[in-house]
Amino acid sequence: MKQSIGFIGLGNMGLPIARNLALAGYQLRVYNRTAAKARPLLDLDGVSQARAPAEVAEPGGVVLSMLADDRAAEQATAGLADKLGAAGLHVSLSTIAPTTSTRLARQGCGYVAAPVFGRPDRAESGQLIVLSAGASRDRARARPLLDAIGSAVFELAEDPASANAVKLAGNFLLMSALEAMAEAFAFAEKHGVPRARVAEVLTTTPLMANVYRGYGAAIAAGTFSPAGFSLRLGRKDARLLLEAASARDVPMPAGHLVMDHFTASVNKGRSELDWSALAIEVFESAGLG
C-alpha cells in the first residue's frame, strides 16, 4: 500500500489532482473550505475528509496544497508545519508569488514549490506540466507524487521561489499570446478576413510552435547574429503594420510596444542584429546584462 498523504484545496484543479492521486493508490486525507466539494472523492478507496487544514497532516508526513491565490495559500497552510514537523514535507502546487513561496518555505518543514501548467481537463487526464523546486532531498521525495499527476516534471533549482518565477514567466507568455492573437485577429478582420479563418491559418500549422521554440532558444542563448531577419526590417514591418492598423481604426497596444523596442534598439546600433535582439532592450530595462 502506498503512503498516506494530505491534500488541501479541492477547486477546479485540486479536485482532479486529488482524484488522480487516490486512483494511483495513495491514501488521502482531504480538506476544502467548502466541505461539499470533497464529496466526489469520498467514494474512492482510502479517501477521508478532514475538518481543518492541519488535520490532513501527520508528523513526518506529506501534504500537497492547491489554493487559488497567495492569501489562501498562506491562510490554509498556517500551522501546517507545526503538525508536519521538521521531517515533514509541504508540496505547494499553487500559482503564487516567489516571495510568498519563500515565506512558506520558512515555516519549519520541508517545502517544494511545484506549480503546474494546464487546465482542469489536463489535470483530469494526468497530463499537467509540473515544475519542481526545493532542496534535492525534498524534490526526490515529492517526485512520485508529481509523476502521478503530470506528463512531465521539470526539476529546477534549490530555491523554491524559482519554480514560481518560471510559472509566472510562462503565464506571461500565455497572456501575451492572448493579447497578440486578439490584436492579430482584429487586424485581419478589419481587412476582410473572418477571425475564425485567421485562427485556422495560424493555429493549425506548425508555424506558431516553431516560432516559440526557435526564437525562445535564440533569446535565451543571446544568439542574435548572424541575422535570419534583421531588426531593421522587423522595425519596417512593425511600422507597416501599425500604419495599416491605424487606417482601419484597429488598436494594437502590443504592436506599439514592440515598435518602441525596435526603435530603441535601432538607436542603439542594433539594426543588423536578428530582430529577436529586441529582447536586449527588455533585458536592459530589467537591469540584466
β-strand pairing of 150-155 with 4-8:
unpaired
Could you give the C-alpha distances from 169 to 95, 119, 241, in angstroms and in order?
A: 11, 17, 27
Short-list 261, 284, 286, CA closest to 165? 286
- Three cell numbers at 46? 482510502
β-strand pairing of 62-65 with 150-155:
unpaired
Architecture of domain 4-158: 3-Layer(aba) Sandwich (3.40)
pLDDT in tens, the chain (289 residues): 578 999 999 999 999 999 999 999 999 999 999 999 999 999 999 999 999 999 999 999 999 999 989 999 999 999 999 999 999 999 999 999 999 999 999 999 999 999 999 989 999 999 999 999 999 999 999 999 999 999 999 999 999 999 999 999 999 988 888 888 889 888 999 999 998 888 888 877 776 777 777 888 888 889 999 998 899 989 998 998 899 899 989 999 999 999 999 999 999 999 999 999 999 998 999 888 7
CA atoms within 13 A on the CB side of 110: 23
Residue 207: partners with Cβ closer than 8 Å, 6 or more residues away: none
Pure H helices in 159-206: 161-189, 195-203
- Active-site residue, 190 included: no
Superfamily of chain region 166-285: N-(1-d-carboxylethyl)-l-norvaline Dehydrogenase; domain 2 (1.10.1040.10)
**Catalytic choice (37, 83, 167, 268):** 167
Short-list 101, 80, 99, CA closest to 160? 101
For the chain, what are the domain ranges? 4-158, 166-285
